[in-house]
Each structure stands twice: as C-alpha cells, then as structure tokens.
C-alpha cells in the first residue's frame, strides 16, 4: 500500500514538472520581444516610402510598407523549420508602382464591387469610376492601395505595432464625407499578424476596408495553390451575376462546389461545371461567415500538405472574399524571379458583402458621423506536427 502511494506521488511529481517545463518553454516563446525596424523604400511623387519589418521570437518576419499599407513579405517556417516568404509581391517599390492586382494592399474606401459604380444614400445618388467594367472595384482609380500612409511606431501589449493613418477628402473617388482612417498592424509571438481598422467620417459613406494579401503557403513563386486544403466556417455564400455582382441571395453552400465546411482541396472543384464557378473563372466569391456576431472568431483554415504550413484567419467581419488568383496571367514576376501564373496565390479578403450599398438585406456597410468604424482580422501561422 505504502509502495503504491509512493509510486503515485513520484508519478504526479513527474507529470507536474514535465508540464511546468512545457509551460515555461511556451511562455519563453510567447514572452520574447518582437522587434520592428524601419528603412527607406523609395518614394512616390516626392513622398518618401518606408518599409517596416517585424520580427518575432520565433524568427517569423513580416514586412509592411507605407505605400498602400502593403504587406510586402511574410516569412514563416514550414514543418521542418525552413522559412519561406508566403506572400506574393515584389522586391522593390518599382514593381508595385508599375501596376499590380492589389498584392498585400489595404483596400478602400470600398473593397470589392459596387454595381455600375452607383449607390443612393440619404436621397442622393453617387457615381464612382467604372474601373472594372461595368462596375466600380476596390475604391476606384486611386484607392487607399495607392496612397502613401503616415506611419508611427506605437506600443500594444508591451510590443511594437505599426499605426498607419490616411485621410480621404469629401468627394474623393466620388465617395461622400471627409474620412479619416487608421490601421494598426502587429505581429505576436504566437505568429499572429493582426490588422485592426478604424475610421470616422463627417457624412454618411459606404466603407469596406480590407487587406488583399495573396498567400501561397508553399512559398511565393512555387506554382499553383490547387493542392492547398481549405476549410471555411460558412454555410452560405452570395451568388453573383456574370459581372460578379451579388444577386442578393444568401445561398446555402451545401451540395455546391462552394462547400468548404469540411477541409477540401482547392483544385478538386475549381473548374466544376457550375454557373457560379464559370462566372468567377474559379473561386472569386464572398462567403457568408457563420459568425455574424461582430466578435472576433475563426473564419477558416488553410493547410498546405508539402510544407505543413497552416493559416488560420479570425475576423469580426461578416464575410470573406475567397479569390484564387484566377486573373494572374504570368505577366508579373515576383520576389523569387518567378512569373505569377493563374492561381499561383489565393486571398482571404475579410469584408462586408460586395455591393452592400445596393442590397438592403445585407449587413449595412454605411459609416455615419459620430460612429467609429472598427474591425479586426488576424492571420495566424503554424505548422502541422
């Protein structure tokens, strides 16, 4: 009996000390310092552009520049500890200035499409530039992706964060109200890249800020993303017409190629004989996230089998545009010197639904004077064991 008690006590002590060791190992990773450095990255129309680089205690590195608030790089390890850059983009500012499909950019005022560039608000009709015939897309001819944002290093939870601000005068790109915007980027020691958005206006205006980073979890320039496996916590999506404008319906994904409620390889159904797939040229649709609470919750998860990299995204937003780079056509050459061909990257643009200003049944995307627009999206990186 006494012997059994002793064995139990020794066993319990062992388990206790092992779990303490585990905890302190986890704690040391979480508690290390995140650093942020700053370097010049060229200039746009005489305005200097800065590149800020976060490095966390696990060696994960994220580069963000003040032009367009663009995420220039995300370097993160695979299951064997080999680091790769999983964000599409260019090595220098020049690449971005030549024109690109919103690689890594902050998008505003209205991410995604507004039908025929028209909406009516408080009895007044507004007209936006048609930059995606026949619709308005991603904030217009000079959207937030092309502004040089003002930057400031701030502190959040004892770690450095990057605060970017910009203003958009009344009537800019056809939108009403003087708008001020703030975006805070940070990187945690849990490999979470957090993007927090704030805005205020002096006249009611539609607003749909997002980030348009393209991921390839096998590394940018490594080919197509068809083997990535995607899960979306979304039982419905917003079907579109042939110009990618929502019909207004919230359609169940069940029984369609849009069903990612169970982890599914992107390539399995991306060319399915399906009207929605044909309209999008693959996946280029808004999913209605199950979480409609406005609180931060897991929206989905993507795994890449070869590298074992996992990307989870958390958001307070009601929707996500899952776009598979169907319009990439090999004309742009990325950081590794490889041409970005069709479907070489995918986006998870957390957002309000496309064309919300023209769909009263969609969650409202109108920001009013006196209100503060606020939403949060977190991209979290890890690996399969």
Enzyme catalytic residues: 212, 349
Give the closest residue to 199 by CA, choosing from 176, 183, 175: 183
50 vs 145, beta carbon nearer ligand GLA: 145
Residues of this chain, 298-337, that bind ligand GLA according to CB under 6 A: 321, 323, 327
Q: How far is the CB of 241 from ligand GLA (least distance, A)?
A: 13
Residue 102 or 149 with smaller CB distance to ligand GLA: 102
Sign of CA dihedral 129, 135, 139, 142: negative
Q: Are strands 284-288 and 346-351 parallel, antiparallel or unpaired?
A: unpaired
Reference 226, options 309, 311, 342; nearest CA is 342
Binding-residue pattern over the window 344 to 363 for ligand GLA, x denoting contact by CB under 6 A: ---x-x--------------
Q: Which is nearer to ligand GLA, 107 or 184 (CB)?
A: 107
243 CB-near residues (< 8 Å, 6+ apart): 113, 115, 134, 135
Q: For residue 45, with 0-12 CB atoms within 10 Å meaning exposed, 13-18 middle and 19 or more buried, which class applies?
A: exposed
Site string for ligand GLA, 231-270 (x = CB under 6 A): -------------x--------------------------
Smaller CB distance to ligand GLA: residue 161 or 240? 240
CB of 280 to ligand GLA, least distance (A): 7
Backbone torsions φ then ψ of 15, nearest 5 degrees:
-60, -45
- Please count the residues of this chain forming the interface with ligand GLA, following the rule CB under 6 A: 11
Residues ≥6 apart with Cβ < 8 Å to 323: 283, 284, 346, 347, 349
Judge residue 316's burial from the number of C-beta atoms within 10 Å of its C-beta, 0-12 exposed, 13-18 middle, 19 or more buried.
buried
Scanning residues 273 to 292, which ones bind ligand GLA (CB under 6 A)?
284
| Least distance between ligand GLA and beta carbon 353 (Å) | 12
Residues 124-163 that bind ligand GLA (CB under 6 A): 137
CB of 84 to ligand GLA, least distance (A): 23
Query: Closest-CB residue for ligand GLA?
Result: 101
Burial, 341: exposed, middle or buried (Cβ in 10 Å; 0-12, 13-18, 19+)? middle
Going across the sheet that includes 284-288, the strands are 214-215, 346-351, 319-323, 284-288, 236-238, 251-252
Instruction: Select 100 or 182, whichever has its Cβ closest to ligand GLA.
Output: 100
Q: Which residues ranging from 74 to 103 are in contact with ligand GLA (CB under 6 A)? A: 101-102
Binding site for ligand GLA (CB under 6 A): 101-102, 112, 137, 244, 284, 321, 323, 327, 347, 349
């Amino acid at each position: 009996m006494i012997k059994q008690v002793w064995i139990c006590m020794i066993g319990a002590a062992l388990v206790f000390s092992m779990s303490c060791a585990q905890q302190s190992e986890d704690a040391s990773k979480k508690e290390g310092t995140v650093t942020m450095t700053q370097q010049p990255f060229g200039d746009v129309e005489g305005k200097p552009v800065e590149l800020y680089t976060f490095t966390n205690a696990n060696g994960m590195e994220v580069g963000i520049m003040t032009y367009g608030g663009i995420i220039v790089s995300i370097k993160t390890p695979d299951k064997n500890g080999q680091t790769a850059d999983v964000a599409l983009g260019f090595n220098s500012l020049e690449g971005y200035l030549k024109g690109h499909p919103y690689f890594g950019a902050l998008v505003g005022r209205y991410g995604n499409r507004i039908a025929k560039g028209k909406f009516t608000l408080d009895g007044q009709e507004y007209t936006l530039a048609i930059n995606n015939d026949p619709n308005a897309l991603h904030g217009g001819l000079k959207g937030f992706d092309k502004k040089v944002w003002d930057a400031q290093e701030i502190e959040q939870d004892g770690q450095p964060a990057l605060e970017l601000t910009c203003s958009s005068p009344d009537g800019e790109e056809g939108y009403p109200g003087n708008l001020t915007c703030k975006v805070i980027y940070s990187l945690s020691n849990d490999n979470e890249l957090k993007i927090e958005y704030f805005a205020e206006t002096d006249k009611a205006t539609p607003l749909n800020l997002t980030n348009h980073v393209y991921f390839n979890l096998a590394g940018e320039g490594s080919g197509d993303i068809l083997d990535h496996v995607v899960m979306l916590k979304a039982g419905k999506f917003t079907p579109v017409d042939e110009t990618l404008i929502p019909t207004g319906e919230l359609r169940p994904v069940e029984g369609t190629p849009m069903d990612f409620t169970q982890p599914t390889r992107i390539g399995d159904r991306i060319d399915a004989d399906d009207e929605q797939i044909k309209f999008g040229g693959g996946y280029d649709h808004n999913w209605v996230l199950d979480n409609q609470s406005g609180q931060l919750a897991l929206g989905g998860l993507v795994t890449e089998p070869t590298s074992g990299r996992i990307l989870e995204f958390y958001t307070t937003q009601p929707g996500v545009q899952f776009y598979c780079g169907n319009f990439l056509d090999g004309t742009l050459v990325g950081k590794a010197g490889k041409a970005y061909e069709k479907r070489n990257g995918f986006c998870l643009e957390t957002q309000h639904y496309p064309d919300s200003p023209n769909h009263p049944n969609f969650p409202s995307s109108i920001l009013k004077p006196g209100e503060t627009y606020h939403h949060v999206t977190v991209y979290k990186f890890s690996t399969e064991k």
